[in-house]
Amino acid sequence: MDSTPRRLLVVIPAFNEQASVADVVAEVFSKLPGASVLVVDDGSSDGTADEARRAGATVAVLPFNLGVGGAMRTGFRYALENGFEVAVQIDADGQHDPAGVPALVAGLDTADLVLGARFAGEGDYVSRGPRRWAMVVLAWFLSRMLRTKLTDTTSGFKASGPRAIRLFASHYPAEYLGDTIEALVIAARSGLVVRQVPSAMRPRAGGTPSHNVFKSAAYLSRAGLALLFASIRPASTYRIEGTA
Amino acid sequence: MTLTSYLLGIIGALLVIAVVVELLRRGSLRERHAVWWLIAGLLALIAAIFPGAVVWVAGLIGIEVPINLVFFVSIAILFLVCLQLSAEVTRLESKTRTLAERVALIELEVRKSRSHDTADDEGSPTRGPAQTGSARTAGRAPARSSGRDRPTGTGEEGS
């Protein structure tokens, strides 16, 4: 155990990303000197963990796939236990530019949780059609709930301050959409301050977002359900440990 | 109703109760899961011994065909058991999830301390089982000579 001050932890949830994870880790190290990198291998069947380790990251290997939520809760718990004050989530597919991290971290001066938003002016991310509408509806609801203007609620590019780390280390949901929408509701119900900052996103390495009406409707209803149940859960569910 | 069918009902109900009790006795069924099955068995026993009771209760609630009462209660109990099991699965899932996360972090710690050991303490023959903590840092620098041929990566705690 070295006792050097460690503040910033970059958490990279990775599931079968052996092709890109090493590059992402290397990029984080080069653009964010002084940051620690934890790759959470979410039960991958390929060489994700080895690649990440070779690139110099600390790697936590989950015995089976838990989804982004499970991987991130592992990251938050690691951050909490090792005294990190800021945890930033970056996807392993290279979609998030580590150069945007300082802007997120700066936002934590006035907030507990900062989202990097794709539609807030910067970058060339375009989303069209029904999926876009679904996202707008969600953003509207969550903006009201969190009393702040959010335009991109499903962004994985997030920075969490000490309070958020303590909350999410025990209450980060694992369900589908839990890591984005439900996490925001949890933040709102626990009284965290949430902000968004514009941040550029690169196109995803693999997979195209769908523009199918039915898929978007299904997506919206699942998101709506996640929202609803997170809102009506008993208040004691989301108590932050160690605070009154 | 013939005597045979009367006895069949009673035997069936007793069998259910016997199986549940036996499972409980062996510890392969927990009490909170057995409760509904016991209730079902007891109700079946009562209905088997006193068929008139079913008719009476059905008349009381206003069910015209008494057997429908039996179906209703059976389905209700099965439904409740299913629901209970679903809730149990959810609880178990969240427990395994927590365990998986813990395992990942513990594994990480083990790997880290092991690589520390092989890097720093390679060949410190003075370290015995009783010496921990302070001995680890004290016996680090000297005695580089022996123990070189020891395979790296194995735990040295037991030596």
| Mutation to test the A interface, candidates B92, B105, B106, B112, most A Cβ within 10 Å | B105
pLDDT of residue A151: 83
pLDDT digits (tens, 9 = 90+) for B17-59: 999 999 999 988 888 888 889 999 999 999 999 999 999 999 9
Give tens-digit pLDDT for A117-163.
876 555 445 556 677 777 788 888 889 888 888 888 878 899 999 99
Q: Which of B103, B108, B112 sits opposite A63 (nearest CB)?
A: B103
Chain A residues whose C-beta sits inside 8 Å of any chain B C-beta: 40, 58-64, 66, 70, 73-74, 77-78, 81, 174
Contact criterion met (CB below 8 Å) for A91 and A157: yes
Whether pLDDT at A233 is above 90: no
In the predicted model, is pLDDT for residue B122 greater than 60? no
Which residue in chain B has the smallest CA separation from A72?
B101
Contact B97 A77 (CB under 8 A): no
More confident: A157 or B159: A157
In chain B, residues with a C-beta closer than 8 Å to the C-beta of A59 are 108
Give the model's pLDDT for residue B157: 40
Q: What is the pLDDT of residue A128?
A: 61
For residue A226, is pLDDT > 60?
yes
CB–CB contact A70 B103 (8 Å) = no
Of A212 and B4, the one with more pLDDT:
B4
Q: What is the pLDDT of residue A208?
A: 52
B53 versus B147: the higher-pLDDT residue is B53
- The 3 state secondary structure assigned to chain B is CCHHHHHHHHHHHHHHHHHHHHHHHHCCCCHHHHHHHHHHHHHHHHHHHCHHHHHHHHHHHCCCCHHHHHHHHHHHHHHHHHHHHHHHHHHHHHHHHHHHHHHHHHHHHHHHHHHHHHHHCCCCCCCCCCCCCHHHHHCCCCCCCCCCCCCCCCCCCCC
**Within 13 A of A67's CA, how many CA atoms are on the CB side?**
14
Q: Which of A224, A230, A232 is nearest to A139 (CA)?
A: A224
Pick from A43-47, A86-90, A178-182, B8-12: least confident = A178-182
**Is B32 or B79 the better-scoring residue by pLDDT?**
B79
By DSSP bridging, strand A86-89 and strand A158-160 are: antiparallel
- Name the residue of chain A whose CA is nearest to B113's CA: A1
Question: Which pTM was predicted?
Answer: 0.76
Q: Which residues of chain B approach chain A closer than 8 Å at the C-beta?
A: 94, 97, 100-101, 103-105, 107-108, 112
Mean predicted lDDT score pLDDT of chain B: 79
> What pLDDT, in 10s, does the model give residues A61-118?
999 999 889 999 999 999 999 999 999 999 888 888 898 899 899 999 999 999 988 7
Which of A240 and B90 is assigned the larger pLDDT? B90
pLDDT score for A180:
81
A188-212 pLDDT, tens digit each? 888 899 998 888 777 655 445 556 7
Per-residue pLDDT of A16-61, as tens digits, reads 998 899 999 999 999 998 899 999 999 999 999 999 999 999 999 9
Q: How many CB atoms lie within 10 A of CB A117?
A: 25
How is residue A101 written in tokens? 């991290």
Q: What is the pLDDT of residue A202?
A: 76
Q: What share of chain A is helix, strand, coil (3-state, %, to 5)?
A: 45, 15, 40
Q: What is the mean pLDDT of residues B138-154?
A: 41
